[in-house]
Amino acid sequence: MNYKQELAEILFEVLGHELNVKELEMLIEKPKSQVHGDLAFPCFTLAKVKRKSPTVIAQEVSEKIESPTIEKVEVVGAYINFFLNKRLVSEAIIAEIMEQKEQYGAHNLGDNRNVTIDLSSPNIAKPFSMGHLRSTVIGNALAFIVEKCGYKPVRINHIGDWGTQFGKLITAYKLWGDVEKVKQNPIKELLTLYVKFHEEAESDPALVEQGRSWFKSLEDGNEEALALWQWFRDESLQEFSRIYELMNVQFDSFAGEAFYNDKMDRVVELLEDKQLLVESDQAQVVELLEEELPPCLIKKSDGATLYATRDLAAALYRKENYDFDLSLYVVGNEQSLHFKQLIAVLEKMGCQWAKNMVHIPFGMMLKDGKKMSTRKGKVVLLEEVLNESIEMAKNNIEEKNPNLINKDAVAKQVGVGAVMFHDLKNFRMNDIEFSLEEMLRFEGETGPYVQYTYARGCSILRKATWQTGSDLKISSPSWEKEWKVVILLSEFPNAVKRSFEQFDPSQIAKYIVDLAQAFNKYYAEVKILEENAEQQARLALVYSVTVVLKEGLRLLGIEAPEEM
């Protein structure tokens, strides 16, 4: 039930269609305090249309409002405050959740059309650091959110498996590498070699030339170079898949940069056909003067293609293979210019669909206020953080609930959930300071707090041996104490829609924290298990809260344990 929309439709009729329903819905507010009602409509905009004072309009409009959903109307200055009928609304919302269960909050905006999501994309032969967490969890949550809104997500892990760094790595391996060491601990050993290369290159510039030369050999198909590259790639993917499994993140495609090696000549040909390529400092570029962007570099002076060429090839391939309705790129903020250029070049090529490509930027994961750097070896490994988090969750369980049956499984759900939630509760454009203590707190605005609230709700239902069914009586003489929780439950579909429209999972994370807090406050005030005329209605409310908390966590890619 969208009560904002319902009120907008009532106002539309009362006002004689002077503003449309959508405009009216945008104007309706939620008062800061429930003393001022559940919804409020400010009349300032109408003053221009009706040429009357907003306070007079408020009085006139308030007298014409009639609806069984609205119990009371109050005018305060230029505002009309609306008080909803608690019994009618509460019973309607709870009945809706009980009927729809986990389908509650879904929208059919996408009609099952494809949305490609470019996410995670770690670099081969480099550790999966905390820096990669953001793209992975934001992209993963967005995949669940677009699916909830009726689209079909296609999760693409555009692995960084090509580029000059492989020439550097092959050089370092040939000079200082040890096959056994690499086999025992591939990523750690390859990172050590990569860091050593950069340290040595500072005093020996010839190394950089050697690195370039080995990458050229790799591009030319040299057997030794290709065999080493394939080995580094296989070992890395094996290690990455272990981390993805830990986080329960899955992909539909691992087509990385190398996948497009044979698809880039076509891009250059298409640009030549459209006469878009111009020479600049012996390189080939596409000018973007009208778009007020710097030129997009397509081919270097030595004929080598670039990052942009590869992304153009990837965009064409994705459109042709998935026929996407939307194409999302969950890539750091620092790549914003690149994506503006990419979309502008495709539009110049006549690709109408390029306007449906969206770069979803995000801030950095900082350590001590600074960006983490692989080159300098200053990284925090994601796997170590996840394992430490799981260990802390396990200690917590031992202390608080030592008789819990499946301790290890719950510790994993809580530990991993804590790390993911800590990222997702922040608006994605904000930088996040890495802090294990903050991440693993089990109270306040954290993942474990929401999971614990869900488990508490499940525990109440178990104690009451409560069963959902069509013959349940969910009527209650008063919904006064339940009202704050009910109103929040009614807002879940809007939170889902907002998170999709803004590509912002933090909308859902904040929402489930608010719901958990409201429910815990209610739980502290009301004896839910006490047998009386209101018990069934109260248990139905508890059930509704568990449904929405579990679904909210699922949309963030986080599991909800029934016991903690």
Rounded mean pLDDT of the chain? Answer: 91
Residue 39 has pLDDT above 70, yes or no: yes
Closest among 7, 37, 138 to 557, alpha carbons compared: 138
CA distance to 37, 161, 319, 509, per residue, from 217 (Å): 72, 15, 32, 48
Summarize pLDDT for 64-101 with one digit per residue, the tens. 999 999 999 999 999 999 999 999 999 999 999 999 99
Q: Please give the Cα distance from 99 to 74 (Å, whole number).
A: 34
Place of tokens 């480099």: 126
Summarize pLDDT for 132-144 with one digit per residue, the tens. 899 999 999 999 9
Summarize pLDDT for 111-130 with one digit per residue, the tens. 999 999 999 999 888 888 87
For 24-58, give the DSSP string: HHHH-B--SSGGG-SEEEE-HHHHHHHTS-HHHHH
For 379, the 3-state DSSP assignment is coil
Q: What is the pTM of this model?
A: 0.91
Residue 365 has pLDDT above 90, yes or no: no
Q: Please give the Cα distance from 120 to 132 (Å, whole number).
A: 6
Cα-to-chain-centroid distance, residue 543: 26
Mean pLDDT of 242-255: 94
Place of tokens 């650091």: 129
At residue 306, φ and ψ (nearest 5 deg) are -125, 180
Task: Kindly indicate whether the domain formed by 382-555 is annotated with CATH number 3.40.50.261.
Answer: no
Quick one: residue 277, left, alpha or beta (phi over 0 = left, psi -120 to 50 = alpha)? beta
Residues 6+ apart with CB under 8 A from 203: none
Closest among 109, 14, 108 to 58, alpha carbons compared: 14
Mean pLDDT of 131-157: 96
Asked if 494 and 148 touch (Cβ cutoff 8 Å), the reply is: no
Residues 6+ apart with CB under 8 A from 491: 511
Summarize pLDDT for 270-312 with one digit per residue, the tens. 999 999 999 888 888 999 999 999 999 998 876 666 889 999 9
Asked if 432 and 363 touch (Cβ cutoff 8 Å), the reply is: yes
Residue 440 has pLDDT above 80, yes or no: no
Return the exposure string of 393-402: e unless at least 16 CB atoms fall within 10 Å of the residue's CB, then b: bbebbeeeee
Q: Helix axis angle, 483-490 relative to 86-100, nearest 10°?
A: 50
Class of CATH domain 3-84: alpha beta
- Cβ atoms within 10 Å, residue 474: 18
Q: Please give the Cα distance from 112 to 353 (Å, whole number).
A: 18
Mean pLDDT of 348-359: 97
Task: Kindly indicate whether the domain formed by 114-260+323-367 is annotated with CATH number 3.40.50.620.
Answer: yes
Cα-to-chain-centroid distance, residue 452: 22
Give domain limits for the chain: 3-84, 114-260+323-367, 382-555
Q: Please give the Cα distance from 365 to 377 (Å, whole number).
A: 15
Summarize pLDDT for 510-550 with one digit per residue, the tens. 999 999 999 999 999 999 988 888 888 999 999 999 999 99
Closest among 455, 447, 456, 433 to 389, alpha carbons compared: 447
For 186, the 3-state DSSP assignment is helix
Strands across the sheet containing 277-280: 277-280, 283-286, 296-299
Q: List the Cα angle 437/440/441 in 5-degree steps.
A: 85
- Beta partners for 419? none
For 431, the 3-state DSSP assignment is coil
Asked if 295 and 280 touch (Cβ cutoff 8 Å), the reply is: yes
Q: Helix axis angle, 483-490 relative to 535-555, nearest 10°?
A: 40
**HSE of 42 in the Cβ direction (CA atoms, 13 Å)?**
8
Q: How far apart are the two ends of the chain, measured CA to CA in Å?
A: 33
Q: What are the residue ranges of helices labelled H in 434-491?
A: 436-439, 447-463, 483-490
Asked if 177 and 214 touch (Cβ cutoff 8 Å), the reply is: no
For 161, the 3-state DSSP assignment is coil
Closest among 353, 159, 169, 112 to 254, alpha carbons compared: 159
- Cβ atoms within 10 Å, residue 471: 5
Asked if 469 and 516 touch (Cβ cutoff 8 Å), the reply is: no
Question: Side chain identity at 51, as an amino acid letter?
Answer: R
